[in-house]
Amino acid sequence: MSTDAQLAALVRLRWTMVRDGRARSGLVVLMGAAAMLVLATMVAGLVVELDVETRDSVVLLSPTLLAAFGLLAFAAPLAAGGGNELYPPDQLVAFPVSARTQYHTSLLLAPLNLAWFTQVALILGVTTFIFGDLTPRIVLGLLTVVLYLASVVLYLAWLTLLGQAVAWGVVGVRASRRGRRAVWAAAGALAAALAVTVAVVGVTDLLDELPTQTVVIAAAQGKEDPGRLWVTVTVFLLVATAVTWRAGLATSRWALRRAGDAGRAESDRVRRRPHPGTTPAALVATDRASVWRSTALRRGVLVLALLPAAIVALAGLEWTSLVLMPGLVAAGAGLLFGVNAFALDAGGATWLASQPVASSDVFWSKARVLLEVCTISVAASLAAGALRAPVAPTAGEAAAALGAAAAAVVTVTATCMRLSVHQPHRAELRGARDTPAPPGTMAVYSLRLAVSTTLLGLAFSALALTGRWQPPTLLAFAFLALGLRRLLASAREFSDPVVRARVTATVAAG
């Protein structure tokens, strides 16, 4: 069977496995909304007319946007352990699915990353705004911009493929203990080099020297008069995209064939812990250990704790912009395992349900561990942003930042625990690329959490402009009360033996 046939068969099978009608409707709406978002941003770029000063500011910002996309293109597949998969690897062992098909699957699922897709839409819209012209026929204008946007589109494709290739290479290297140590050493050296460069050169000067400026200039020349630079950049990116695709294919094939020692390394770290003393404390300790033992969750926690903090520290955001960060970081933390929190028990869920443990203890232990992960991630990014903020915050800005952080953590925790009770999924969370729910469902959850937390952040950001601490504080207490109310409602539902049995049976056996 050819690669295309295998890929089509796997996608069809995954679609038939989505039994929830709401999840199917959400996926269809999500795909339609994604296409409409790209079209809307490009049309807006052709229609909107602003003054020359604003246009020049956007021109200066566009190379930074392209560089930020490059960072995301590398970070996203690395955080996912090499790329998302339609099925856990152990479910495909008995089937002759080629490494080429699995590589194409990871590329197919790349747009399901909400951050990736929104950045693509933003870049295309900004580029069209800079170089587009309103024509009597918008469709003709869109067809025209395809020519000079070729360099930008190829840049996005190349960076996406390059990120996948590097991530699969890291997966292969990390198959051995020595390789894992080498990867951590290389990551530390890279972080140290970046910190030294920023300290010596400065953020502004570093942004001014970004090579992405060449892509923007090539797009500008492609609109006016495609010349040597536009042809050179476009041909280079076209060749680089083709070469990178082949390199990624070879790298993924090598990585998937590597016999790793991760399982032996995990067993070597198992230690018997003393009993914490009470049943709730024992459950919390077990759930914490479940998060840390999972390769995917352990890596995700570290990435969420360090990467947003590093980005915020480099950007040096104003306080009104910093208020938006807690919601986005908390949403990412919730997607690690919170949307299916009871999957932490996995195959042991049935055994745990047979023990004389109160349902409330089981529910609140999961909620507490999720709350801790969200809090640590949000606190790290907020602290880094506070240290790098250009000026000290006003009382209103400080209250808005702290209120947004508290509200986002509680809101995400309440939303995730409700999803965990209402829509559980079977997920072992043992493999490096395991996710708590199927890819399409994760995309819907990602959109749901991102929209709610972004609106929350915008509300607190608007209140920060008032300069008063009372409005954001009152709003924070309102969100905390609402979140607590939703948590209590979910806990009552989970106490129902029928609901608990359904959740247990799903996470334990599917």
* Inside any domain, residue 185: no
* Inside any domain, residue 2: no
Together in a domain, 151 and 294 = no
What is the C-alpha separation between 47 and 172, in angstroms, rounded?
47
* Whether pLDDT at 458 is above 70: yes
State the virtual CA torsion across 308, 310, 313, 319 in degrees, nearest 10. Answer: 0
* Whether pLDDT at 389 is above 60: yes
* Whether pLDDT at 23 is above 80: no
Q: How many domains does the chain have?
A: 2
Domain endpoint, select from 209, 228, 261: 261
* Inside any domain, residue 7: no
Beta carbons of 190 and 272 less than 8 angstroms apart: no
Instruction: Give the model confidence (pLDDT) of 357-374 as tens digits.
Output: 888 999 999 999 999 999
Instruction: Give the model confidence (pLDDT) of 162-181 as tens digits.
Output: 888 888 888 888 878 888 88
Together in a domain, 256 and 200 = yes
The DSSP code for 293 is H
Share of the chain above pLDDT 70, in %: 81
CA 423 to chain centre: 21
Together in a domain, 203 and 324 = no
Q: Tokens representing 502? A: 């359904």
Together in a domain, 287 and 257 = no
Q: Tokens representing 344? A: 């932490």
Together in a domain, 317 and 257 = no
Backbone dihedral region of 343: left (phi > 0), alpha (psi from -120 to 50 degrees) or beta? alpha
Q: Tokens representing 387? A: 């240290």
Residue 267 has a pLDDT of 46
Instruction: Give the model confidence (pLDDT) of 461-473 as tens digits.
Output: 888 888 888 899 9
Q: Which residue has the higher pLDDT, 235 or 227?
A: 235
Together in a domain, 253 and 339 = no
Residue 482 has a pLDDT of 95
What is the C-alpha separation between 23 and 74, in angstroms, rounded?
29
* Whether pLDDT at 15 is above 80: no
What is the C-alpha separation between 346 and 289, in angstroms, rounded?
13
Domain housing 94: 34-175+194-261
Domain endpoint, select from 234, 261, 288: 261
Together in a domain, 324 and 462 = yes
* Inside any domain, residue 140: yes
Together in a domain, 57 and 122 = yes
Together in a domain, 154 and 282 = no
* Inside any domain, residue 106: yes
* Whether pLDDT at 158 is above 50: yes
In angstroms, what CA-CA distances link 326 with 278, 309, 363, 402, 454?
33, 11, 24, 9, 9
418 exposure class (CB count in 10 Å sphere: 0-12, 13-18, 19+): middle
What is the C-alpha separation between 69 and 280, in angstroms, rounded?
43
Which residues touch 162 (CB under 8 Å, ≥6 apart)?
73, 74, 244, 248
Q: Which residue has the higher pLDDT, 481 or 274?
A: 481
* Inside any domain, residue 182: no
* Inside any domain, residue 425: yes
Together in a domain, 337 and 382 = yes
What is the C-alpha separation between 497 and 454, in angstroms, rounded?
36
Instruction: Give the model confidence (pLDDT) of 236-260 as tens digits.
Output: 888 999 999 999 889 888 887 877 6
Beta carbons of 5 and 95 less than 8 angstroms apart: no
* Whether pLDDT at 354 is above 70: yes
Domain endpoint, select from 261, 291, 308: 261
Together in a domain, 486 and 357 = yes
Instruction: Give the model confidence (pLDDT) of 263-296 as tens digits.
Output: 444 444 555 666 677 888 888 888 888 888 887 7
- In one letter, which amino acid is 238? L
The DSSP code for 259 is -
Together in a domain, 357 and 244 = no
* Whether pLDDT at 29 is above 80: no
* Inside any domain, residue 21: no
Which residues touch 87 (CB under 8 Å, ≥6 apart)?
10, 14
- Assign 319 to helix, strand or coil: helix
For the chain, the farthest-separated pair of C-alpha atoms sits apart, in whole angstroms, at 76
Instruction: Give the model confidence (pLDDT) of 96-142 as tens digits.
Output: 777 788 888 888 877 777 777 778 877 877 777 776 654 544 444 44
What mean pLDDT do residues 38-59 have?
70
**CA angle 497-331-349, nearest 5°?**
30
Instruction: Give the model confidence (pLDDT) of 53-76 as tens digits.
Output: 666 677 777 787 788 788 878 777
